Chains A and B, each alone.
Chain A
């Protein structure tokens, strides 16, 4: 078995020490810091990207909340304005109707008054005509003249 050829041991040990020592130096001084740094910077980058994404998400959520608040406020405001407008319009209409009512009532009263006056006038002239007609009929029946005063008196008595 060549492995047990003791003569080959010293050179193998010496060269193992040399090569292994060089490999250890290269790995510990250069390779591991380099690879470790790369991995770490990648992890940092991923972490910062995730943080950034979280921050943007928070921002957008805040923006949505602000938008919804503004929307609700605008809705409330619009509602208020509509209500106010409705109220003022109602008040105006009410006032106009009241004025119109008053005017109409006045005209009605005037008209009623004039109707009453006309009626009274008409009644008075009817009375006159009736008493005239009654006087004429009575004088025709009795053949003598009747005075208007007597007729009037008789009508008044008959009433």
Chain B
């Protein structure tokens, strides 16, 4: 797991995703080591907490304060649009998901040379899958608690000819159970692909030298801008889909 390819001749674009232990911790037989991924999770959480808690709460907001309020109202409006007022209880969860994913994605764009190797928490399928599974299981539980067995009607589309019904029930069921996969793979793949591509182009910059390296460098600058957009967009998409799944569970609009 250690960064063996670092310092080697070739640049391995996948090296940035490697997880290595910083403080080995064992819980019984389970490995709970504090890794660089854990470190970045802590950085992500700490930065979000600092942003939200240390900013002032003035009538006329300061810059830092308006960032927090902007995020608050952004998520609140999104939830109101999708869930109506019935989803107030899930606002903290959706806000936490949004901020966690957004901060993870954004921190992944920042490279502090030598001191900290950049690492994107959300570029690991296990992390995104865990969050997606959590949302999926939560939505399913909420659905059954709220509607009982009536929640199963979600798999039976209304106004469909009886002949087609069995087929559609199968399709609906499959689409329901692939939700956590699509939700997690979308985020993970976007993050991984973007960072891999940037690393590949960075390899070209070094490989082509002072004379030829400018073209891939310019491309990298452009892609970095695009990646920041993607970082935001994927956090938004994750939060929106969470709201939509919760909406299916609470309001059963189909």
List which B89-141 residues lie within 8 A (CB) of chain A: 91-93, 95-96, 99-100, 121, 123-127, 130-131
List which A24-43 residues lie within 8 A (CB) of chain B: 24, 26-28, 30-32, 34-39, 41-42
Report if A36-B72 is in contact (Cβ < 8 Å); known contacts: A19-B45, A24-B96, A31-B53.
Answer: yes
A34/B53 in contact, CB under 8 A: yes
Interface of B is mostly: helix
A23/B32 in contact, CB under 8 A: no
CA distance A14 to B19 in the complex (A): 14
Q: What are the residues of chain B within 8 A of A10 when measuring CB–CB?
A: 30-32
Interface of A is mostly: helix
Among A7, A26, A31, the one with the most B-chain Cβ atoms within 10 Å of its Cβ is A31
B48/A19 in contact, CB under 8 A: no
A19/B68 in contact, CB under 8 A: no
- Cβ of A136 to closest chain B Cβ, rounded Å: 135
Is A45 at the interface (CB under 8 A from chain B)?
yes
B59/A41 in contact, CB under 8 A: yes
Q: What are the residues of chain A within 8 A of B190 when measuring CB–CB?
A: none
A11/B33 in contact, CB under 8 A: yes
Q: Which one, B35-43, B146-154, B212-220, is touching chain A?
A: B35-43
A34/B57 in contact, CB under 8 A: yes
Q: What are the residues of chain B within 8 A of A35 when measuring CB–CB?
A: 52, 57, 68-69, 72
Q: B44's closest neighbor in chain A, by CB?
A: A19
Partner of B130, one of A8, A13, A39: A13
CA distance A134 to B192 in the complex (A): 167
Is B171 at the interface (CB under 8 A from chain A)?
no
Among B53, B61, B91, B96, the one with the most A-chain Cβ atoms within 10 Å of its Cβ is B96
Tally of contact residues, B, Cβ under 8 A: 50
List which B29-88 residues lie within 8 A (CB) of chain A: 30-35, 37-38, 41-42, 44-45, 48-49, 52-53, 57-59, 61, 65, 68-69, 72-73
B17/A2 in contact, CB under 8 A: yes
CA distance A14 to B33 in the complex (A): 9
CA distance A14 to B99 in the complex (A): 19
Is A22 at the interface (CB under 8 A from chain B)?
yes
- Cβ of A6 to closest chain B Cβ, rounded Å: 9
Q: What are the residues of chain A within 8 A of B123 when measuring CB–CB?
A: 3
A15/B100 in contact, CB under 8 A: no
Q: What are the residues of chain A within 8 A of B95 when measuring CB–CB?
A: 27, 32
Report if A20-B37 is in contact (Cβ < 8 Å); known contacts: A31-B49, A35-B57, A41-B59.
Answer: no
Q: Which 5 A-B pairs have the closest CB atoms?
A: A28-B92, A31-B52, A15-B38, A19-B41, A8-B19
5 residue pairs bridging A and B, Cβ less than 8 Å apart:
A5-B19, A22-B45, A23-B48, A27-B48, A31-B49
